Amino acid sequence: MSKLAFGLLNGVVWGTVLALLSSGLNVVFGLMGTVNVAHGSLYMFGAYLAWICFSFLDSFWLSLIVSPLAVGLVGVSIGFLLKPVRKDPILTVLGTFGITILLQGSTLVLWGGTPRRVPLPFDSTFSLFGTGYSFYRIFVALVSGLVLYCLWFLVERTKFGLRLRASREDPELSSAIGIPVFNLFLLGFALGGALAGLSGALIAPLVSLTPEMGLRIFAIVFLIVIIGGLGKIWRSVVVAIYFAVFRGLASIFLDSTKGLILTFSLALLVVLVNPSILGRSSANANGS
């Protein structure tokens, strides 16, 4: 019973962070039709920045500002770099995949392949069925939830969001009525990068950091966005929590590798058999 409660709570916490990360990909892919394969590496980069803030500036908290800003800047640079090919989905996948290799390789050169750890910024716990549960995890879930709410508000309730959605629906018409489509494209990349950076910084104290941490999580996050539906932030949250809870419970009752295999297989099955299981996601996807 305690295992189950533990797994559920952990799943919800991980799910909200995954949702935050996937929302960054969603802004770029779902709202702009461009797949940024480097999104996972941006997250990795954000996590390493948290480690740097902790090790060299002696303040983990600083990274919650530094990571989103710095990684957002990297995001903008990627947008600039890909300007010539941004209308070709295959070339953008290949280009951002190149950036993934580049970022991963640079991290390896700069900070080595040995796993890095960031200690918990506060180590108070509360008791949950006899085991201690860290408050920091709750903090992570709360921050993620808050940022997700702000993002939803930005995309669905502001003029900026309206323009973003318009330029995705019909770039030519949008540009004709005076929406600066390319600037929005860059802003979308900045926003996506900032969200990846923030997720990376938040998660840094909970995992061990390696240069390879980016691509597997990219696959997970991309699955979440596809299953949840492009451009749908709240649906991705639900799918992300499902995903994390399922994986958490599977890892507890099987083992970590088997749990991951089961989760990936199930997610793949959903994508293959019924891509529109949660509504009109496939109708959107085919357009891009």
Partner 1 sequence: MQMEASWNLGKLLTVFVVVLTVFGVLPLFLGRFQVVLVTEALILGVYALSFDLIFGYAGMLSFGQSIFFGVGAYTILYSFKGGLGLAVSLLLAVFVAGFFGLLVGGAIVRIKGAKFFLVTLVGSILFYLLALDNRWLTGGSDGMVVPTVFPGLAENYYLVLGVSVTAILFALILVRSPLGLVLKMIRDNERRAGLLGYSLKKYKVITFTIGGGIAGLAGGLYAYTSGFVSAGFFHWTRSADAVVWTILGGAGTVVGPFLGAALLTVVSDILSAVVGNIYPVVVGALLVLAVVVFPRGVFGLLEGTIRNWKGDSGG
Which one, 1 or 273, has the nearer CB to partner 1?
Answer: 273
Question: What does the binding site for partner 1 look like in residue numbers (CB under 8 A)?
Answer: 29, 35, 37, 81-82, 84-85, 89-91, 93-95, 97-106, 108-109, 113, 215-216, 219, 222-223, 226, 257-258, 260-261, 264-265, 267-268, 271-272, 275, 285-286, 288
Best CA proximity match to 26, nearest among 182, 142, 246, 195: 195
What's phi and psi for 132, nearest 5 deg? -80, 135
Which one, 103 or 190, has the nearer CB to partner 1?
Answer: 103
Burial of 181: CB neighbours in 10 Å, binned 0-12, 13-18, 19+: buried
Least distance CB 125 / partner 1 (angstroms): 32
Which one, 37 or 201, has the nearer CB to partner 1?
Answer: 37
Give whole-number Cα distances, 167 to 33, 179, 191, 252, in Å.
10, 7, 16, 44
Using CA atoms, how far apart are residues 45 and 152, in angstroms rounded to an integer?
25
Best CA proximity match to 41, nearest among 90, 86, 100: 100
Least distance CB 221 / partner 1 (angstroms): 10
Best CA proximity match to 251, nearest among 2, 18, 1, 8: 8
Least distance CB 108 / partner 1 (angstroms): 5
Using CA atoms, how far apart are residues 144 and 131, in angstroms rounded to an integer?
24
Least distance CB 121 / partner 1 (angstroms): 31
Which one, 136 or 218, has the nearer CB to partner 1?
Answer: 218
Which one, 81 or 154, has the nearer CB to partner 1?
Answer: 81
Q: Are 233 and 23 in contact (CB under 8 A)?
A: yes
Which one, 201 or 209, has the nearer CB to partner 1?
Answer: 209
Is residue 86 helix, strand or coil? coil
Beta partners for 132? Answer: 127
Using CA atoms, how far apart are residues 1 and 137, in angstroms rounded to an integer?
20
Least distance CB 79 / partner 1 (angstroms): 12
Least distance CB 76 / partner 1 (angstroms): 15
Which one, 1 or 272, has the nearer CB to partner 1?
Answer: 272
Least distance CB 30 / partner 1 (angstroms): 11
